[in-house]
Amino acid sequence: MKKMIVLPGLGLLTSLATVAAAASLEEVLKEKHVITEAEYTEIMKGRPTTYKPGEGFKFTSADGKFNGSVGGSLQIRYTLMDLDDVNDSSTKHAQDSSKFELKRIKLLLNGSVYYPELSYKMSVNFANIAGGTISNSGLLEETWLNYRLRDEVQFRIGQDKVQFGRQHVTPSSSLQFVDQSIVTSAFVPGYDTGISINGKVAGGIINYSIAGLGGVGQNTYRTTTDNAFAARITTNPLGDMKYSEPDLDASEKPLASVGADFYRNTIYSGETNNLGFTKSSGWYGIGSPLMTQKFSTGEALDFNTFGVDTAFKWQGLSVTAEYFAGEAKGQASKRTLRAEGVYAQAGYFIVPKHVELAYRYSYFDPNRNISADHWLENTVAASWYLNNHNVKLQADYTAIHKQPAIASTSGKSATDDQQIRVQAQLVF
């Protein structure tokens, strides 16, 4: 690399870790089943305001009918891009870049109102105010109401992450690398507004979500009668497995998960939307310009996307893999665009619960009908968890290979770029 990388604030990060509070006595007693959930709730009524690292300040009314929490998360990132200097006289010299950015700055609110079964959540990402690509600058992310009839049957209405892809469903603050794989970014829809039925069966052995969605993405609303459908099911045969990539708990017994997803939508070619797969780095956004016979402007396109995933954790070792396949078919032209992608990653704590090393391989083919359009990445990472996900410092290095059809050389030569990222995270 041509430059030295220094991320200010490491001293502050360490200080924050030392003041992070431990679980309260009541929480410890509840976790060890010394007191019941009802007894814990009764005790907390007398303590209207509490704080827990990673979950924020919690407020409870005297009658226990209203409770909520206010917290936040910060991700401050440095990225160095060393672009390939291709030996091609017709190509403009690649421009390297070095930047600091406020990647995610979130305010998080959640709780329950009137009844314990009626809960809400709202997350506001202030990093999207300036220069955001989402309508209203993408300020609102997860904003919903959830009614729990029972653990197995719950109803949710509002804007949420489309439950599609394990890595996408996992909170950005709980990832193993600085950010998610290019494959996940290319295939997932992102956020959308709608209604869903979801639940946990047998204490989390099976989880499911079935949703009807607006179909045009975050903070954007449909002007046609078309809508989207999404479904996800997971099975955790060895016990409930949290959506957190590293094995921070150093699981004493093995944990495994297998999931499957399906997403269907109808979008008109040229229609304004905020769906992840239609963006410039999405499978449709990259693959459709490569078609020899393109879709007509305004043509109705039927999208069907499938995904399968698996994850495993045990004694500090974690392994995750996902495969996606997408298809867009023109209703009038009958032309079809197909894409696929896969990633696999593994991590291990060399210092239990604190220092982890990880590796990820990503493969992405945005148009299966042509050749020389593959995107491959090999990434190595190191993470220092000072206080679980609440205070952590992450760094990763990625070798990026793009074949000629999607490289910056306009189809003349493949490129091999290098990327270094360092990120500090605080969740409170």
Nearest to 176 by CA among 420, 359, 312: 359
How far apart CA 92 and CA 282 sit, in angstroms, is 25
For the cut 90, the answer to whether the pLDDT of residue 13 exceeds it is no
pLDDT tens, residue by residue, 188-201? 999 999 999 999 99
215 in Cβ contact with 222 (< 8 Å):
yes
Q: What is the pTM of this model?
A: 0.86
Cα–Cα distance measured from residue 209 to residue 261, given in angstroms and rounded to the nearest whole number: 10
**CB 422, CB 78: distance < 8 Å:** yes
* Per-residue pLDDT at 52: 82
- Of 7-11, 181-185, 249-253, 299-303, the least confident: 7-11
Q: What are 156-165's pLDDT values in tens digits?
A: 999 999 999 9
Phi, psi of 111 (to 5 degrees): 165, -160
Per-residue pLDDT, averaged over 118-123, amounts to: 96
Is 2 a domain residue? Answer: no
Q: Which residue has the higher pLDDT, 319 or 131?
A: 319
Q: What is the CATH number of the domain that holds 306?
A: 2.40.160.10
Decide: 69 and 114 in contact? Cβ < 8 Å: no
219-243 pLDDT, tens digit each: 988 888 899 999 999 999 999 999 9
399: in domain: yes
**Whether the Cβ atoms of residue 311 and residue 175 lie closer than 8 Å to each other:** no
**Is residue 51 over pLDDT 90?**
no
By DSSP bridging, strand 415-427 and strand 255-268 are unpaired
Domain total in the chain: 1
In contact, 176 and 355? CB cutoff 8 Å: no
Q: Is residue 4 part of a domain?
A: no
- Main-chain phi, psi angles of 176, to 5 degrees: -85, -25
Write 152-157 long-range contacts (CB < 8 A, 24+).
Answer: 152/199, 152/200, 152/201, 153/197, 153/199, 154/197, 154/198, 154/199, 155/195, 155/196, 155/197, 156/195, 156/196, 156/197, 156/198, 157/194, 157/195, 157/196
- What residue type is assigned to position 1 of the chain? M
Least confident of 56-70, 120-134, 252-266: 120-134
- Assess if residue 3 is contained within a domain: no
Give the C-alpha separation, 83 to 96, whole Å: 6
pLDDT tens track for 358-417: 999 999 999 999 999 999 999 999 999 999 999 999 999 999 999 999 997 655 789 999
426 CB-contact burial (10 Å; exposed 0-12 / middle 13-18 / buried 19+):
buried
Question: Is residue 301 assigned to a domain?
Answer: yes
- Identify the domain containing residue 358 by its residue range: 10-427
pLDDT (average), residues 104-123: 94
Average pLDDT, the chain: 89
On whether residue 313 sits in a domain, the answer given is yes
Band of pLDDT at residue 5, cut at 50, 70 and 90: very low
Q: In the numeric block, which tokens belong to residue 247?
A: 């094995």
**End-to-end Cα spacing for the chain:** 34
pLDDT over threshold 50, residue 49: yes
In a domain? residue 226: yes
Domain membership of residue 324 (yes or no) is yes
